[in-house]
Amino acid sequence: MKIGVVMRPNSDAAVAAVEQLTALAAQHGMQVGSVEERGSGVALEPERMADCDVVIAIGGDGTVLEAVRYGVPNDLPVLGVNVGRVGFLAEAELDDLPVVVEVIAGRSWSEMSRMTLTSRIEGGGSGVGLNDIVVEKINSQQLVSLELHIDGERFLTYRADGLVFATPTGSTAYNLSAGGPIVDPLIDTTIVTPVAPYSMFARALCLPPTSKIVCTVTLDRPAGVSADGVIVGTLDPGNSVTIERGPDRARFITLAKRSYLQTVKAKLKLYEGLDGASF
């Protein structure tokens, strides 16, 4: 059994966690892949990740997203250990490392698979997002005009800072800050949420996961396209990006510590007073 590691860069807590993980794994006869510095963090060498059985991300949500970029193409399950601030995607905390190692050593974990989204720019690049695909303005002082076609039918043209196309996993990320709904990741849907729209219609849409969405830039202002925060490319006026459910799902190891609703309450720090009011 071999564990691949993706670690948050420049974090003493993450370094200590990897050292603890390595020692615990050795007690069970398992290997932890050596880590090396890379441009976007610290991780096992990409060409060697395919030899692993699981991927552990030690950091925040960004580190988990980085781990998923290894896990999906290699069909590997991912488990996040939180040393960040919120850690919505993390299944475990640092104190859980002994349990994590025991579960992996015994191959006794449960899994949840989560949908992804793909983006393909007409005549350009492509990207895969576990959280979201975002089309947004490049010039901070100007709105962009984005026309949507859904399954071949024209819907609306948005004048806005941008549009967030989110998965249920990403519903608690940029989508949430833009006013979109929180959706349980057991549900497959594509959420379309405008960012600061200059329009009377500012509501999010939840579409079937089979929907094919074409987003076209109109007028004279370009827009940028990103997948989980990684730049995919630029849409010039008249150019389009197609957004669809990804062919591959992300696999996540679950420890069944708490329900999704409990996670939402804990991560968003939702509390109830004696009168039952939330704050």
Please report, in angstroms and rounded to a whole number, the separation of the first and last CA atoms in the chain: 45
Look up the pTM and report it.
0.89
pLDDT at 37: 45
Helices 97-105 and 12-27 cross at an angle (nearest 10°) of: 40
pLDDT for 254-263, tens place per residue?
987 678 888 8
Question: How far is the C-alpha of 165 from the C-alpha of 151, rounded, in Å?
Answer: 15
Of residues 193 and 262, the one with the higher pLDDT is: 193
Average pLDDT over residues 39-58: 70
Higher pLDDT, 121 or 14: 121
Query: Is 61 among the residues known to form the active site?
Result: yes
In the chain, ranges of CATH 2.60.200.30 domains: 117-245
Residues of the chain with CATH 3.40.50.10330: 2-114+249-267
Q: Which residue has the higher pLDDT, 50 or 273?
A: 50
Length of the chain: 279
Name the range with the highest mean pLDDT among 2-16, 27-41, 42-56. 2-16
Distance CA 220, CA 194 (A): 19
Select which of 12, 51, 53, 61 is catalytic.
61
Higher pLDDT pick, 216 / 36: 216
Query: Is the per-residue pLDDT at 166 higher than 80?
Result: yes
pLDDT digits (tens, 9 = 90+) for 84-120: 777 789 889 999 999 999 999 999 899 999 999 999 9
Residue 46: what pLDDT? Answer: 55
**Per-residue model confidence (pLDDT) at position 132:** 98
Per 3-state DSSP, what percentage of the chain is helix, strand, and coil (rounded to 5)? Answer: 25, 40, 40
CATH classification code of 117-245: 2.60.200.30
CATH number of 2-114+249-267: 3.40.50.10330
